[in-house]
Structure 1
Amino acid sequence: MTAQPTPTVVLVHGAFADASSWTGVIKELKNDGISVIAPPNPLRGLASDAAYIASVAGQTDGPVVLVGHSYGGAVISVAGAAENVAGLVYVAAYVTEEGESLGELQDRYPLSPLGSNLTEWTYPVEGAEPAVEFTVEAEAFPEIFAADVPAAVTEVLAVAQRPLAAVAFTEKAATAAWHTKPSWALVAGADQAINPDVQRFGAERAGAAVVELDGASHAVAVSRPKEVADLIRDAVRATV
């Protein structure tokens, strides 16, 4: 029996971050000869963001393993319906069901400190009223987002945030690819941005293979890239 091609890993960042948050994970995977793409996640709304990531996957030769951090988990749950997606990996992420919004998922459990430490902004929309977007308050960012990351790094991350459109919290997922694709999940045990119970619930509902890292913050891909890469390697090996 002929082995299938080794999947390309597509890393999808979440809110309040960019693709550079995967730097350590990228180094780990490339050292193992695994092909990696880390595209920008537009952060403008679940349907449009998922369509963009599905387009990236669809233009990638061979099978793809989608990896989503935080809000990126909701994005890959929808984008993962693309035909060449072979597996899904959730990293400190929302694992949404079809017809469910981020708000509905996180409201199942006590809210994290994130919601009360957001700054509201607006951005122009052609032909319409300005739309709302959010960032994390800079002073609260280190504790909420990256408590196990060196202070010098969190200072940079806090001022380099990419905002998330407010509509992303209420827009319902059009599908849930984990119903038909194998999945893996990493739970960040000390996450102050997404309640770890929300992560556990979504992962268990999806039937994901789960790894939990005690003491890990929401920025687990920055603070513990080897452990994140290890889980992604498991997914790559399982889908070959």
Structure 2
Amino acid sequence: MEKQSAMNLFARLDQLNRIGAALSRERNIERLLENILEAAKALTGADGGTLYSVTEDHSALRFEIMRTDSLGVRQGGTTGQKIDLPELPLRRADGSPNDALVAAHAALHGRTVNIVDAYAQEGFDFSGTRAFDQRTGYRSQSFLTVPMTDHQGELIGVLQLLNALDPATGKVVAFSNADQSLTESLASQAAIALSNRLLITQLERLFESFVKLINIAIDEKSPYTGGHCERVPELTMMLAEAADAT
């Protein structure tokens, strides 16, 4: 039994390594976000999950991707299905930490929250979850909420998994210590991959704006070179994208 468990763990570690390599190659941010959540679900056998990004001013968490397999829920990202839910504020109106919300608590304190049964858990506000369950007939039981921070310790987002499923029975169980460790490792790799991709996107936009500004300045001096200058940023961006893809 122990040997089988060890082999299973090694297989999951190998899966984690392959996932990390795949995430680093993804260039589309929406697909990258989707891949992060789907990978975490696959690693842990979770029925559902949500990926949040932190807002630009670090005041709230924004819903990016939502999945619940048993309900057929697929929202956010490339699905075209908008997530019509408000952002989760990280702090209350008086400036105190919004520790009642699990995702906000994990983000603010930089630590994982592993909940066996949301209906028996004290200290967190699950009123929204219970309302969802009542509306859909679902039962949100086990939660694994992991903050995503990059190599500089900056919060990128939060990864929240829902209802770990026993592979033998299909019943909802708690997320194990191995599930938690693997998800934390994945969240760390994912945060770095996402941070790098966002930085590259910002640099590309900045570079494109800078080249266009030079183009305008030169064109004002000499209209004869306008056509050539218009092609320069296009060719340069093509070269930059080709270099990034290799």
**Relative CO higher for 1 or 2, CA cutoff 8 Å, sep ≥ 6?**
1
Q: What band does the TM-score fall into relative to the shorter chain?
A: under 0.3
TM-score (norm 1): 0.24
Bigger-Rg structure (1/2): 2
Instruction: Tell me the TM-score normalised to structure 2 length.
Output: 0.23
